[in-house]
Structure 1
Amino acid sequence: MLDWLQDDECCCKVFVEIEVEPDASEKVLEELRSNPALKDEDLMLVAPGRIKGAITTDECLGCCSAIGTGVFQISGVMDKDGRIVQTVVAGDRQTIERMVSNMEDHGHDITLVKLATLETEEILTSRQEDMLRYAMEKGYFDDPKRITLVELAREFDVSNSTVSEMLRKSQRKLMGEYFKART
């Protein structure tokens, strides 16, 4: 689940990214499109095993019943048993308790799997972030590149090897955080 919103008719529109076995993609799309609980859908197969789009339902999927509780949904995935597993961030434990209570009031069976304190440590140094952002904005990661490593080094007044090392370390940190969040 990427995001969601609730409209004036008490419908829940959910923006989803669904990952399935590549050979099951068409079957999953067909099942979603024929599901009577969905009032509307705008789904597309973006890659083998990857479906993205929006579904609209007047049945609460759990995301809508969290409205007004003060949590921010980071992700939502369906596990192998068909349960929706949501990752949320809240300012305090009471907010999580309020969300759980509200969802239970709406008929959802809730299991709190993990409760953790959010680390406030920055992933990248400000220098790494500045360089990575500049490289991104100027097209270093485009194909073809719109700026070269040499030009980046000149812009930051450092050697080519320093730019290369900083970009590599920044990418490694970000990929590490990305994959850690998906497990």
Structure 2
Amino acid sequence: MSDIKAVVRAKHPDIVLTGAVTHDRSSKVTSVSEAGTDPTSGKFFYRIESADFDRFEDGLRNDRTVGAFERIIETRDEEAIYSFEYTDEAKVLSPVVSAANGVILDMKNDESAWILTIWMPERTDLVHLWDYAQQNDIDIDLLRVNEYDGLGNTDAGLTDSQREALLVAFETGYFEEPRNATLGELAAELDISQPAASGLLRRGIKRLITSSLLDDSEKRD
């Protein structure tokens, strides 16, 4: 078995920060990966985009999952980094993932639901998250799961972005005849523009061809 990168969608009114983002529909929440992922630290850091931080903070004050918060720094217009402490009523998914030897790589809101990108050593470890969701009445869906063992062990020299684009394109049926997914749908899955998605596919395919089909003299040329 190989390690996996899974993308899941979870929804429940008591998942942390749900009340705040529901109150401020302009807000976009993403995790700050460089701040660490230790669920026992007591503080959690997120990058917040909002057209009205006063409204967002009004939502925080009425969000029963948030015990304390602080706007640490405003990184640019309509964007700031906050630290949060959670209440006992908050449903927190990161300890569940950590207990299964996994890591939440990214978390962002999709209106009142949450999209989580999770690394786990085994695909079967996802059952721990599903068990927690069932016990706590959390709606959860697996959007996609990528196994990196195949492409990850080649000498193709793919970047992480090229590898992800190729895997998502394969899983969504972009390479089928006829295609089951358009370039626009693929770009939306990757959360990038269509030209960027097209470029990742072209460069990734070129690297795979160079690595797999050409001999050493042709590679040098």
Which whole-Å CA distance do the structure 2 matches of 1:6 and 1:74 have between them? 13
5 Å-filtered alignment, 1:20-59, equals 20=50, 23-44=51-72, 45-57=74-86, 58=88, 59=90
Counterpart residue number, 2:109: 78
Q: CA deviation at 1:4?
A: 4.3
SS of the residue corresponding to residue 104 of structure 2 reads strand
Which whole-Å CA distance do the structure 2 matches of 1:103 and 1:65 have between them? 10
- Larger strand fraction of residues: 2
Counterpart residue number, 2:97: 66
Q: CA deviation at 1:16?
A: 0.8
Aligned structure 1 segments of 4 or more residues deviating by more than 6 angstroms: none
Is the CA contact (8 Å cut-off) linking 2:97 and 2:103 kept in structure 1?
A: no
Structure number with higher relative contact order (C-alpha < 8 Å, ≥ 6 residues apart) = 2
Counterpart residue number, 2:123: 93
Give the TM-score, by structure 1 length: 0.55
Distance 1:122 1:71, change over 3 A: same
Distance 1:17 1:48, change over 3 A: same
Q: Does 1:105 align with 2:141?
A: no
Query: Which letter does structure 2 place at the counterpart of 1:68?
Result: A
Which whole-Å CA distance do the structure 2 matches of 1:53 and 1:181 have between them? 26
Mind listing any 5+ residue stretches in structure 1 that lack a counterpart? 125-179
Amino-acid identity (%): 11
SS of the residue corresponding to residue 107 of structure 2 reads strand
Which whole-Å CA distance do the structure 2 matches of 1:38 and 1:24 have between them? 19
Q: CA RMSD in A?
A: 2.9
Q: CA deviation at 1:77?
A: 0.3
For residues 156-177 of structure 1, give each alpha carbon's deviation from its aligned partner in whole angstroms, at most 9, with x where no partner exists. xxxxxxxxxxxxxxxxxxxxxx
Is the CA contact (8 Å cut-off) linking 2:37 and 2:104 kept in structure 1?
A: no
Which whole-Å CA distance do the structure 1 matches of 2:97 and 2:136 have between them? 10
Is the CA contact (8 Å cut-off) linking 1:42 and 1:55 kept in structure 2?
A: yes
Q: CA deviation at 1:33?
A: 4.0
Q: CA deviation at 1:102?
A: 3.0
For residues 113-161 of structure 1, give each alpha carbon's deviation from its aligned partner in whole angstroms, at most 9, with x where no partner exists. 111123525529xxxxxxxxxxxxxxxxxxxxxxxxxxxxxxxxxxxxx
Mind listing any 5+ residue stretches in structure 2 that lack a counterpart? 1-30, 161-188, 193-221
Distance 1:51 1:6, change over 3 A: same
Query: Which letter does structure 2 place at the counterpart of 1:70?
Result: N
SS of the residue corresponding to residue 88 of structure 1 reads strand
Is the CA contact (8 Å cut-off) linking 1:25 and 1:48 kept in structure 2?
A: no
For residues 52-95 of structure 1, give each alpha carbon's deviation from its aligned partner in whole angstroms, at most 9, with x where no partner exists. 12111121232233330121111000112x11110011122111
Distance 1:111 1:91, change over 3 A: same
